[in-house]
Amino acid sequence: MPHMIHRAAEIILNAAITPPLMPQFLGRDWVSRWLKQHPNLHKTKQKAKDSDRIDAQKIGDISQWFAALRGVMYDRRISHAICAILTRLASV
């Protein structure tokens, strides 16, 4: 994971250089040193996914749910435009 942070920081560093010059690189222990300078931040190990969440992400179940939704929309004559409007209103 530190290598991902390191690479992202290098990309941000080089994107900020105007005009683009020679690529700038961060030192080998840059992530460790940066974390020491920011003690309010700390590394956290990602937790494994809950089995219910894994089950909810199965493509077959998702496809089946949307097929059922299409059926309900057709039976009740609900257009896609109305669904889009309701979705936008629900997110406000």
- At 18-65, the pLDDT tens digits run 776 778 888 888 888 988 998 898 778 888 878 777 777 788 888 888
Residue spans of the domains in the chain: they are: 2-37, 51-91
Residue 88 pLDDT exceeds 80: no
By residue count, the chain amounts to: 92
Which pTM was predicted? 0.43
| Residue matched to tokens 């969440």 | 53
